[in-house]
Chain A
């Protein structure tokens, strides 16, 4: 908690974090759902187009988020081991 507070000096930043994470979760869900749909509708151009659009936004947004608030996956490079920071998702780590 302390570490991201170092980067967050006001309540508005906290709101930015929550908004970013909300968008990440929405994109993650949309990508999962489109993925299942495409597994049985391989030729649906509109779905592929949406999947491409959301996946690109997901990559950009998670990159931005993780640089400030810590890693969401263990593959994200970091100078300090922030992976262990609490809360974990099951402890209310989802805003």
Chain B
């Protein structure tokens, strides 16, 4: 289960309204490589992991991604909460405003609503962890594009830089988890038969 900590993982205190930036940053809320997709991807994949390290890392990174989702939501909220209608129109946010006002809705920068098609649970630990490694790199690349777009806004750049760094750390940890899983799956397996199995089956089962 989860409980809420009444704090952000890293502070978000944006002084200037800027709906133009909110329009692109929202992609890290509900876009293809965003924090919601990341969190659901890891928290769903953890059920099928074969060793204790990979279960723990998916659980804990999935949890941290929820904290990142909150930070991105805070950035979008603070960039739009006091925006005038004129600013919203000038930012090209009229369609968004029509359906969502200044609520924070999980969608990509291009306006595509969040879909679980962004994540995979392949029923294969190696395939899943490889996907997670790629997901962290794609999220890092997205943050770098957002950092380019927000270059003149230090209040926005600061938390974006923090989030970019976390993607790098997560990539590192997933790489280590993947090596552990590969070693585990490559281990020699021994199957023992103590000779009682057939008798036990006969005794326990009345159907034959």
* Interfacial chain B residues near A93, Cβ < 8 Å: 6-8
Known: A89-B74, A92-B13. A39 touches B53 (CB 8 A): yes
B176 touches A25 (CB 8 A): no
Q: Can you sample 24 A-B contacts with CB below 8 Å?
A: A25-B11, A29-B10, A32-B9, A33-B169, A36-B169, A39-B177, A40-B53, A40-B173, A40-B176, A40-B180, A41-B176, A42-B53, A72-B5, A72-B6, A72-B7, A89-B7, A89-B70, A89-B74, A90-B73, A90-B78, A92-B12, A92-B13, A93-B8, A94-B11
Residues of A within 8 A of B (CB): 21, 24-25, 28-29, 32-33, 35-37, 39-42, 71-75, 83, 88-95
- Least distance between B29 CB and chain A CB atoms (Å): 12
A39 touching B173, Cβ below 8 Å: yes
Cβ-defined contact, B7 with A25, below 8 A: yes
CB contact under 8 A between A39 and B78, given known A75-B3, A94-B11: no
Residues of B within 8 A of A90 (CB): 8, 12, 70, 73-74, 77-78
- A71 proximity list for chain B (CB < 8 A): 6
A42 to B176, CA, bound (A): 12
Q: How far is the CA of A92 from the CA of B15 in the complex (A)?
A: 10
Closest to A85 in B: B6
Contact A28–B9 (Cβ < 8 Å)? yes
Stretch at the interface among B30-38, B55-63, B89-97, B198-206: B55-63
In the bound complex, CA of A38 to CA of B78 (Å): 35
Contacts of B57 in A (CB 8 A): 36, 39-40
User: Secondary structure of the A side of the interface?
Assistant: helix
Taking the nearest CB of chain A, how far is it from the CB of B106, in angstroms? Answer: 15
* In the complex, B64 has a CB within 8 A of chain A: yes
Contacts of B53 in A (CB 8 A): 39-40, 42
Contact assessment for A40 and B177 in the assembled complex, using a CB-CB cutoff below 8 Å: yes
Whether the Cβ atoms of A73 and B3 lie closer than 8 Å is yes
Q: Once bound together, how far apart are the Cα atoms of A95 and B170, in whole Å?
A: 26
In the assembled complex, how far is the CB of residue B169 from the closest CB belonging to chain A, in whole angstroms?
A: 7
The residues of B that contact A72 with a CB separation of less than 8 Å are 5-7
Q: Which of B3, B6, B11, B177 has the most CB of A within 10 A?
A: B6
Contact with A along B35-78 (1 / 0, CB 8 A): 00000000000000000010011001100100000100110011
Residue of A nearest to B77 (CB): A90
CA distance A18 to B187 in the complex (A): 52
Q: Which residue from chain A places its CB closest to the CB of B71 in the assembled complex?
A: A90
Q: Which B residues touch A33, using CB under 8 A?
A: 169
A36 to B9 Cα, complex, angstroms: 15
B4 at the interface (CB under 8 A from A): yes
Instruction: Identify which of A41, A89, A95 gathers the most chain B CB atoms within 10 Å of its CB.
Output: A89
Question: A74: which B residues are within 8 A, CB to CB?
Answer: 3-4
